[in-house]
Structure 1
Amino acid sequence: MKLKKAIHAILSRSRVNSKKCLRFRKTNMIRQLLVLIFSLIVFTSPAHAWWNKDWEYRKAVTVDTTASGVNVSGPMGRTLVLIRLHSGNFTFTEALENGADIRIVDTDDKSPLPYHIEGFDAKTGIATIWVSVPTLNGGEKKQLWLYFGNANAKVGEDVAGSFDADYMAAYHFSEGPGVAPADKTANANAAQTAPPGVNDSGIIGRSARFPGQGAITIAASPSLAMAAGAPFTFSAWVKPDQLAGNQAIFARGPMVIGINGGAPYVALGGASTQASSAVKQADWSHISVVADGTTIKIYVNGIEAGAATAALPAIDGPILIGGADGAPFGGEIDEVRLSKVARPAAMILAMASAEGPSGKLVNVSESNEKQGSGGGVLGFILGKIHALDAFIIGLCMLLLGAAIWLMFTKIRDLNKADRTNSVFKKRFMEMHEELVPVADIKGIDPAEVAYIKASPLGRLYETGIDELLLRQKNRGVRPLSGEAVEAMRAAVDAIVVDENQKMDKWMVILTIAISGGPFIGLLGTVIGVMSTFGGVAMAGDVNVNAIAPGIAAALLATIAGMACAIPSLFGYNYINSRISAAADEMRVFVDRLITRLAEMQADAAETPPPYQIAAE
């Protein structure tokens, strides 16, 4: 029999342990599943192998010629593409101060591409980088990789190699005031004269400024020769101060490209064509002229705006940019390029879209990828928080911490009050009409006496009993007057007020968190959004990837404010309801206590209570 019981006990324990083990396994599996889901959401794995282990970071750069970017069709071949970096899409503190560690790698994540940096300012958080994409076609998304984060890297840019062999000359006008523009191609067709002025905030970095006189002169050279019937492409960004009159942008021999009454035109001896509409005054416009041997076309902002049937004659001699005899130009010019081929229309549109304010062609990814790990979107957003936003988020979190501590303390105190009140009320009901001091209750031990005296109702009770005994000592056993009853009530009400103040103490922290938290967070968001748009305006890049990271980081301030306010609101309502219930209970108890003490005194006038007889 004993053996059967022992076996039964062992089997029972085994079943219990098996159930516990199963529950543990289920809990552990759920925990692991949640961790996996969280990891998949927050982190992204690198799609390709790492190009070079000496570089710590990289980010994806997408050249988008589909409908979601620049909707172009047809092959473009080797194309020069502008990448704009700013504090909204690039962490300058993780790269070298001069950008020497920047590298651009092709889609295969193996082949470095020729590139050069026109401007890189870590202090203002703005950079412009030109990269030569070897093959680009319309209707595709081509992903490149931008590597950075190598403290030992040497300058890796290749200025001349960034331009294909069909470029005759290219001018960024990135030089300082009084310096003649340099040709960025391998042809080295540097200008002989400097522009009259420069503007540090051109369409892409610096631009050349012309006050209506003083054109730039470029001497003739074999690489600038234009044979009869040969193809040719001219492109430039133009910002006229005024639209009236004839203003030459490019002039060489019989060929003049300019604006007349604001309408772009190209004149070639007897042949000419003019755009159907005018450009905007004091606004940047992309103007291109393409000659293919039989037709000359003019493009405005990447769209064909005029055409004429003509072929180029043989043209030689110096080139003038920014004015000509009888056609002075007033305004700014940037990014002038001359090619000895007819660039395809798709490339013209892509150039205008990539380099202009819209910036639809190139999208820089929101997150950095770190070597050996995925790029955390949340970590990237946190890295974009401005110092003032970080302070505001920290303030909200500090306020939330104070609110949580207060809620925990108040709920703990209220629970303790409920427990001690419950013990007291049980003793109070047992005494019926014979109320005595807590220490004189029959069968009570010192520990319970201390426990009851710690309760709010117990303190009210002790005060009422003390007031009654004081009157019995001074006036004897006789019925209480109305004034005496009110005096006793006032003494007990004073304890009620004291208990209410204890329960309400520091509750203002919750009200501050509820009302102030969202406004503090909103302030941080407004400041962050303002800073983001300011940086985007300075960089001249308005695509969604330029704006989204900064705004996402700014919204963390609002999230912090709401995270502070929402728990505080729920906690305040819960705690306040319990405080109100406790206050009501004390008020009702005071009425019962004073009424019963008055009745006891009236009865005692006829028959003294036992404890008073014992005292006598």
Structure 2
Amino acid sequence: MSKGSSLRRKMTNAAAGLALGFTAAMTLFPATANAWWNDEWQLRKKINIDVSATGANITDPIGTVPTLVRLHAGNFRFSLAKEDGSDLRFVATDDKTPLKHHIEKWDSLLGEALVWVSLPNVASGAKSDFWLYYGNKKAAAANDAKGTYDADTALVYHFNERGTPAIDSSVWANNAQSVGQAADGSLIGNGLRLDGRNIVTLPASPSLGMADGAPFTWSAWVKPAAMVPNSALFSRRDGGNGMVIGFDNGSPFIEVSNAAGTQRSGVGAPVAANSWHHLAVVAASGTVTIYLDGAPYATLNASLPALTGVARLGGDAPPPAAAAPVAPAADAAAPVADGTAPAVDAAAAPVAVAAMAGFVGDIDELQISKIARSPGFIKFASTEQGSDPTKLIAFSNDEETASWMSGHFAIILKSVTIDGWIVIVMLIVMAAASWIVTYDRVSYMKKQAGANDRFMKSFRKLADNLTALDRGEADENAAVLGSKLGEEEAQMVRASSLYRIYHVGAEQISHRFANNEMIRLNGASISAIRAALDSVFVKESQRLNKMMVVLTISISGGPFLGLLGTVVGVMITFAAIAESGDVNVNAIAPGIAAALVATVAGLLVAIPALFAYNYLVTRIGELTTDMQVFIDEFVTKMAEFYSTEAIVDHRQAAE
């Protein structure tokens, strides 16, 4: 194996060891967070819940509540999660306890997701938080709709079905018995559109059955399309017993029928048409309370009757013929300044019983519970599920597991496309080649400079015999013409470019001596010897510039190759945006940033190569000048030692 091959092998091993050591050292850097639920998940973010005076300001008890987490491109990186969101995990504030959740909607292309999470024991008037983990491509789905709601929740309809009856997400499986018309783009994903004629029926299951005076909670998001008088949104009747939740010219009401007659809550301020509102009805201890957008709207002093039959959504069944008319309820109080009416108490009063009109409008997120939910629970749901939940819920920045790739740099690298990685790998190879060449050339020139200095110290001591320092080639055992150099010193100076030039000159002089007789070198002989020295000079110059072309390629080709990767990456990013139709900055920024990585990589190749090239060119120039000066000095001494006058002096001295 040649010395050059051995040197390159050692240099390559050293570079590989350095790279491995650097990688190992970087993995020891601390993570952004100190605790981590499971290291298989790469990313997490804290979700803050604020029901204190600075947030939603809920002072009533809340308890365990299903919470809607809205994810979008502004608060979640869909590209780093699984395509179906099955790697999502929610963990309590202790970073140990997993929370039940299920996904209502997931669209990674549009960057939209709706996820329901069961938060246990939310304290009123305080701040709390929980964790969202994602970024595990091997994770299995963990959706648990049944576990998201407590056992007292009898029915939950998200209305995200299309062409099939609504599916109950609670543990009781109270699926709808008829198909309704889907309403796209509802408040929470898809909703249900009611036209006043088509009614969706709910099953007469035991879990939906109600005992006389039993507690009860009904809640939904509603958007009336018109001010229809006496319209039924939800109804349930068993003979003379009945319950109807509806709107009367935009004013929500609850109507209760039993053997004593029919009672209806008072009329408050109407809601605006075509606007979403959270409507809830809570029955407990002989009082039925209507909540509108989380605040009490009206009350009715009555208990709900026993009901076991089917329920209807969007209309009402005809009332029984034997129903006794009762008087109207007390007038409602005047609306307050914010457009809502204060709570209205209504005692039983005679009203005429007639069939109600069907409700016209949209409904979303219907929930029925077998207990009376607290005012805090109702206000929490109204605030958190609404169109502006920012006062209650907030998202922190992403945190990553312990890794040298963290923060914004990790986001950028993970967004690089395949074509970008191809360019980057090519640039890494180019960079490695330029570093190897730089190391090789710097080492070679340092060795040359040291050997040249040592040789010149001996050369300038020569007085009359220019061949006295010549030891021949490295594989020659005998000294040439009685060289004054020892073997160890000769091994050192043989690495000198000046010695190699000198060696050729000494050989030329030796060839012109016959039987060690002094001869005279004429002008033609000196010119011939100089030509031989010049040829060695050219070869030594080529040896100094060996592989320097690798650095010039890195300097000029690196940025252009990186620019090619950037341009292709930008083209792909804009093509993907055009296909998806999503033009927000959060969708564009990661792709553009990732495309620019190729340009950065190209510059990282070119800049070190440029510095190394300029340094090496300077050193090459110095060594080249030394060789030119030495040739002039050698020729001058040769003319001095072997001219006619010098030979005469030598002969006289010999006699």
Shift of 1:447: 6.0
Distance in 2 (CA, whole Å) between partners of 1:599 and 1:479 is 14
- The Cα of 1:418 is off from its aligned counterpart by 1.8
Please tell me the residue identity of whatever aligns with 1:64: N
Asked if residue 452 in structure 1 is aligned to residue 487 in structure 2, the reply is: no
After TM superposition, give the deviation of residue 419 of structure 1 in Å. Answer: 2.4
Matching of residue 406 in structure 1 with residue 437 in structure 2: yes
- Match status 1:307 vs 2:340: yes
The one of 202, 207, 217 equivalent to 2:190 is 207
C-alpha change, 1:532 and 1:104, in structure 2 (3 Å) is: farther
1:416 corresponding residue in structure 2: 447
2:163 aligned partner: 178
**Mapping of residues 432-451 of structure 1, within 5 Å:** 435-436=466-467, 438-439=470-471, 440=481, 442-445=483-486, 448-449=489-490, 451=492
1:131 aligned partner: 117
What is the identity, as a one-letter code, of the residue corresponding to 1:589? M
SS across alignment from 2:104: strand
Judged with a 3 Å threshold, the aligned counterparts in structure 2 of structure 1 residues 392 and 581 are, in CA distance, closer, same or farther, namely closer
Q: Which of 58, 61, 72 is the aligned partner of 2:56?
A: 72
- CA separation in 2, counterparts of 1:366 and 1:140? 21
Q: Which amino acid aligns with 2:190?
A: S
Q: Which of 584, 602, 610 lines up with 2:622 in the alignment?
A: 584
C-alpha distance in 2 between matches for 1:185 and 1:541: 38
1:376 to 402, 405, 408: 402
- Structure 1 residue aligned with 2:20: none
Q: Distance in 2 between matches of 1:528 and 1:312?
A: 64
Q: Is the aligned partner of 1:385 residue 2:414?
A: yes
1:162, distance to aligned residue in structure 2 (A): 1.2
AA aligned to 1:352 is G
CA distance in 2 between partners of 1:234 and 1:446 (Å): 100
> Does the 8 Å CA contact 1:60/1:144 hold for their aligned counterparts?
yes
Which residue pairs with 2:179 in the alignment? 194
Aligned to 1:511: 555
Equivalent position SS for 2:341: strand
Please give the alpha-carbon distance, in whole angstroms, between the structure 2 residues aligned to 1:472 and 1:336.
115
Counterpart Cα distance in 1 of 2:649 and 2:179 = 113
| Higher alpha-carbon deviation: 152-161 or 596-605 | 152-161
Give the letter for the 1:402 counterpart. Answer: A
> Could you give the per-residue CA deviations for residues 292-323 of structure 1, whole angstroms, max 9, x where no partner exists?
878864589xxx97423475999999997xx7
- Which amino acid counterpart does residue 458 of structure 1 have in structure 2? Y
Q: Distance in 2 between matches of 1:351 and 1:517?
A: 50
Q: TM-score, length-normalised on structure 1? A: 0.59
Contact 1:120 1:126 (8 Å CA) reproduced: yes
Aligned residue among 278, 297, 305 for 1:288: 278
- 2:456 aligned with 1:425: yes
CA distance in 2: counterparts of 1:171 and 1:66, whole angstroms: 27
Structure 1, unpaired ranges of 5+? 1-34, 259-264, 280-285, 368-374
CA distance 1:215–1:527, change in 2 (3 Å): farther
Judge conservation of contact 2:67–2:119 (CA < 8 Å) in 1: yes
Q: Percent identity?
A: 16
Is 2:129 the counterpart of 1:142?
yes
Q: Matched residues in 2 for 1:56 and 1:450: separation? A: 59
Letter in 2 for 1:180: P
**Rg larger in structure:** 2
- Judged with a 3 Å threshold, the aligned counterparts in structure 2 of structure 1 residues 149 and 505 are, in CA distance, closer, same or farther, namely closer
3-state DSSP of counterpart to 1:74 = coil
Deviation at 1:409, TM superposition (A): 1.9
CA offset at residue 289 of structure 1? 3.9
| Number of residue pairs matched by the alignment | 516
**Equivalent residue number for residue 5 of structure 1:** none
Kept in 2, the 8 Å contact 1:81–1:133? The answer is yes
**Aligned residue among 267, 270, 273 for 1:273:** 270
- Once residues 183 and 281 of structure 2 are traced to their aligned partners in structure 1, the CA distance between those partners, rounded to angstroms, is 30
Compared CA separation, residues 40 and 497, structure 1 to 2 (3 A): closer
Q: What is the CA-CA distance between 1:140 and the residue it aligns to?
A: 0.9
1:520-531 alignment to 2 at 5 Å? Answer: none
Query: Unmatched 5+ residue regions in structure 2?
Result: 1-23, 235-243, 254-265, 283-287, 296-336, 472-480
Which amino acid in structure 2 is aligned with residue 410 of structure 1? R
RMSD over aligned CA atoms reads 6.5
- Scaled by the length of structure 2, the TM-score of the pair is 0.56
1:502 and 2:546 aligned: yes
Q: Are residue 116 (structure 1) and residue 102 (structure 2) matched?
A: yes
